């Protein structure tokens, strides 16, 4: 009788599914990581399947072991792979839903094909309100660009977005804001965002908010205030947003360690 090897869902020909272009400027480890992520997300590498050991994989792909390890480590950090010393490397059991990243609401809606639309309610340079000044770590009395927008999804009002940016940070066009998300506009201006602090809470809608959002007064709203920083740690944006709780919720993935 033939005993089937337990848990052996191994993929022998992983190397055949990955092509490496050594003339590309894209780093080798990144090419491998990206390709492996595609394979995992397309279920060609199903959850639970075991990879060959690092040395064999590196050998098959014509890479060194550190490079292969770097690729695998990248995916382990993302939670797509699980490594166990003395055992091996497996594809993690579940598909990871995309992490809530430093994206704007607009990008999220756009990806979800929810037909985002934006109405710019205010767009002006003003002396910074104390809350914005404090969040952006600016000297008292500094001027800020104040933006207020009403965001729709599928022609239904969804959120009121108030944002404050240091005046003169970037060339921002009011028209661009009506067509794209703030974060996309910032990125197009060369502003990078690396870290953000968020606070998520809830409260009742004021009369004005209820009117804008098509809710009754006192309806529960989800609130999110966020300060975003560039790679050097300088604050570039402070936002104070309210969402219709009946139409919106935040989804996020936490990684431990």
Partner DNA sequence: GTCGGCAGGTTGTCATGACATTCTGAGCAA
Partner DNA sequence: TTGCTCAGAATGTCATGACAACCTGCCGAC
Can residue 88 be called a binding residue for DNA (CB under 7 A)? yes
121 binds, among a second copy, DNA, none (CB under 5 to 8 A by kind): none
| CB of 227 closer than 8 Å to CB of 242 | no
27 binds, among a second copy, DNA, none (CB under 5 to 8 A by kind): DNA
Strand ranges, E, within 30-114: 81-84, 88-91
| CB of 160 closer than 8 Å to CB of 150 | yes
What is the C-alpha separation between 65 and 130, in angstroms, rounded?
54
C-alpha distance from residue 19 to each of 66, 148, 160 (Å)? 18, 48, 47
- The stretch among 14-22, 27-35, 164-172, 240-248 that binds a second copy (CB under 8 A) is 240-248
Among 13, 16, 86, 155, binds DNA (CB under 7 A): 86
The residue behind tokens 């595609």 is 38
Can residue 55 be called a binding residue for DNA (CB under 7 A)? yes
102 binds, among a second copy, DNA, none (CB under 5 to 8 A by kind): a second copy
What is the C-alpha separation between 89 and 100, in angstroms, rounded?
26
What is the C-alpha separation between 67 and 71, in angstroms, rounded?
6
Can residue 254 be called a binding residue for a second copy (CB under 8 A)? yes
* DSSP code per residue over 203-224: EEPPHHHHHHHT--TT-EEEEE
- The stretch among 67-75, 193-201, 219-227, 230-238 that binds DNA (CB under 7 A) is 67-75
- The stretch among 52-60, 148-156, 164-172, 183-191 that binds DNA (CB under 7 A) is 52-60
User: Taking CB under 7 A as the criterion, which residues in 26-45 touch DNA?
Assistant: 27-30
Among 109, 221, 239, 240, binds a second copy (CB under 8 A): 221
User: Taking CB under 8 A as the criterion, which residues in 137-166 touch a second copy?
Assistant: 137
* Chain centroid to CA 232: 19
Can residue 9 be called a binding residue for DNA (CB under 7 A)? no
Q: How many CB atoms lie within 10 A of CB 55?
A: 12
* DSSP code per residue over 45-62: S-TTPBPPPHHHHHHHHT
Can residue 89 be called a binding residue for DNA (CB under 7 A)? yes
Binding interface with DNA (CB under 7 A):
6, 25, 27-30, 51, 53-56, 62-67, 69-70, 83-89
Q: Which residues bind a second copy (CB under 8 A)?
A: 47, 66, 77, 79, 82, 90, 92-94, 96-97, 100-102, 137, 193-204, 218, 220-223, 229, 231-235, 245-246, 248-257
């Amino acid at each position: 009788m033939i005993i089937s090897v337990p848990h052996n869902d191994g993929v022998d020909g992983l190397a055949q599914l990955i092509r490496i272009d050594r003339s590309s400027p894209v780093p080798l480890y990144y090419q491998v990581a990206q390709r492996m992520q595609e394979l995992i997300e397309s279920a060609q590498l199903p959850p639970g399947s075991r990879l060959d050991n690092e040395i064999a994989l590196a050998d098959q792909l014509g890479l060194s072991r550190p490079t292969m390890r770097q690729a695998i480590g990248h995916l382990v950090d993302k939670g797509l792979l699980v490594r166990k010393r003395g055992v091996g490397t497996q594809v993690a059991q579940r598909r990871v839903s995309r992490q809530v990243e430093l994206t704007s609401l607009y990008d999220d809606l756009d990806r979800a094909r929810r037909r985002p639309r934006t109405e710019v309610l205010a767009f002006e340079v003003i002396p910074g309100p104390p809350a914005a000044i404090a969040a952006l770590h600016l000297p008292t009395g500094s001027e800020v660009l104040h933006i207020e927008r009403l965001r729709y999804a599928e022609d239904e009002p969804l959120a009121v977005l108030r944002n404050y940016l240091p005046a003169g940070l970037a060339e921002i066009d009011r028209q661009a804001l009506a067509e794209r998300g703030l974060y996309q506009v910032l990125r197009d201006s060369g502003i990078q965002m690396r870290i953000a602090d968020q606070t998520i809470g809830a409260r009742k809608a004021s009369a004005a908010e209820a009117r804008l959002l098509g809710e009754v007064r006192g309806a529960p709203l989800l609130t999110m205030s966020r300060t975003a920083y560039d790679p050097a740690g300088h604050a570039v944006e402070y936002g104070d947003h309210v969402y219709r709780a009946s139409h919106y919720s935040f989804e996020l993935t936490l990684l431990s360690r």
